[in-house]
């Protein structure tokens, strides 16, 4: 009987992530024995779900960069004990501690998924040396979009042969199989019942995400729709002071900030229009919210960044606006609200575009092929 291939995921600073839960459920259990090393300050929703699925989990207490040296040694000894055939690291701290630990533990296949594009290059150039170190210690790098692949090759001089393009995959039925009760619970929770239109934003408060251009657009929307509600989810981050200054121009009854909502699938169903406007084409490494919004059938206003550059078309599956342009965002929101035929067309075409392209089984098949290569 052929032994299962042992695959260990090393992941940092994640509380809840459907992607890892889906991988744990769908990776071929006849071929692969999956385990996780989680770098977290304490227990998490992800850890609880993995244990429910009978996946082995080692948690290393991690409260920030000061814990990296100790985390390196703890990962090293776990790998020496477990001897996985493959390690697959996700997110910066996990890569920084996990890939060198795997190298010194003589794990031959050391894979990491690159989840950022130009963030360090443009915002924190002093961190680029660590990205290069991570690239060096890996044997294979997963690029989640053409944008990431191009950044790795053109700006970090990574050998193209080392890079495998595997976009994120989604369990699309999760965006459809949502009970009315779940949606109504969130309507009450976030006081959106009877409000129109509800404009949705799911984005951290980071300058390059472009939320600062959405708020002035919504301020103008209120002149036509005084009962409108702006829902800002994932509402935390280093740019929050600037965002809160802009929100002072919006009546408190017309916006809701949500730090974290676990039922993301039901949340999208509250929105009449969704808006996501990163400030340039390379800002997003991928941009999962593009896929989630379209899979949910929400008519959307986008700037093109990350994965959206590869398939989003203006007035075909979304409204495409200029970067850093509040007026353009406002005009597109109003057009979707006034033109129901256009909104329905974008909803239908958006669903079709992502359902055919980003199915979970495509990602799982690509990962399995990479592990076995």
Per-residue model confidence as pLDDT tens digits over 143-198: 999 999 999 999 999 999 999 999 999 999 999 989 999 999 999 999 999 999 99
**Residues, the chain, total?**
373
Beta strands 255-258 and 229-233, pairing class: parallel
Residues 332 and 363 both lie in one domain: no
Which structural domain, as residue segments, surrounds residue 258?
Answer: 172-357
The pLDDT score that the predictor gives to residue 261 is 95
Residues 234 and 336 both lie in one domain: yes
Q: What is the CATH number of the domain that holds 122?
A: 3.40.50.2000
Residues 209 and 131 both lie in one domain: no
Residues 95 and 54 both lie in one domain: yes
Residues 190 and 164 both lie in one domain: no
Confidence of residue 1 (pLDDT cuts 50, 70, 90): low
Residues 159 and 184 both lie in one domain: no
pLDDT, tens digit, 9 for 90 and up, residues 265-295:
999 999 999 999 999 999 999 999 999 999 9
State how many domains the chain has: 2
Distances (CA, A) of 52 to 34, 46, 55, 293: 14, 10, 7, 29
Residues 81 and 43 both lie in one domain: yes
Confidence of residue 3 (pLDDT cuts 50, 70, 90): confident
Contact 357, 170 (CB under 8 A): no
Residues 154 and 203 both lie in one domain: no
Phi, psi of 45 (to 5 degrees): -60, -40
Residues 337 and 368 both lie in one domain: no
């Amino acid at each position: 009987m052929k032994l299962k291939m042992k695959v260990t995921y090393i992941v940092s600073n994640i509380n809840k992530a459907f992607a890892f839960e889906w991988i744990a459920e769908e990776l071929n259990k006849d071929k692969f024995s999956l385990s996780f090393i989680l770098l977290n300050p304490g227990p998490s929703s992800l850890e609880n779900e993995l244990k429910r699925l009978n996946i082995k989990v080692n948690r290393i207490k991690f409260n920030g960069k000061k814990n990296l040296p100790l985390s390196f040694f703890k990962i090293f000894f776990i790998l020496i004990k477990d001897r996985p055939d493959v390690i697959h690291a996700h997110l910066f701290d996990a890569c920084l501690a996990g890939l060198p630990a795997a190298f010194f533990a003589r794990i031959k296949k050391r894979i990491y998924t690159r989840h950022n594009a130009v963030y360090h290059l443009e915002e924190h150039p002093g961190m680029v040396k660590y990205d290069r170190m991570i690239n060096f210690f890996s044997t294979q790098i997963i690029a989640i979009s053409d944008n990431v692949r191009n950044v790795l090759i053109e700006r970090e001089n990574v050998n193209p042969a080392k890079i495998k393009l595997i976009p994120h995959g989604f369990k699309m039925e999760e965006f459809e199989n949502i009970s009315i009760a779940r949606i109504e619970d969130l309507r009450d929770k976030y006081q959106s019942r009877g409000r129109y239109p509800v404009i949705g934003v799911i984005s951290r408060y980071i300058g390059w995400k472009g939320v600062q251009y959405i708020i002035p657009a919504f301020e103008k929307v209120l002149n036509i729709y005084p009962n409108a509600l702006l829902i800002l989810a994932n509402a935390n981050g280093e740019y929050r002071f600037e965002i809160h200054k802009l929100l002072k121009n919006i009546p408190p009854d017309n916006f809701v900030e949500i730090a974290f909502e676990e039922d993301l699938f039901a949340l999208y169903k509250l929105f009449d229009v969704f808006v996501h406007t990163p400030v340039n084409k390379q800002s997003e490494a991928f941009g999962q919210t593009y896929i989630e919004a379209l899979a949910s059938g929400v008519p959307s206003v986008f700037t093109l960044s990350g994965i959206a550059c590869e398939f989003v078309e203006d007035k075909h599956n979304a409204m495409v606006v200029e970067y850093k342009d509040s007026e353009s965002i406002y005009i597109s929101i109003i057009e979707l609200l006034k033109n129901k035929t256009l909104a329905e067309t974008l909803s239908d075409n958006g669903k079709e575009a992502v359902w055919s392209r980003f199915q979970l089984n495509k990602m799982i098949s690509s990962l399995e092929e990479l592990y076995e290569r």
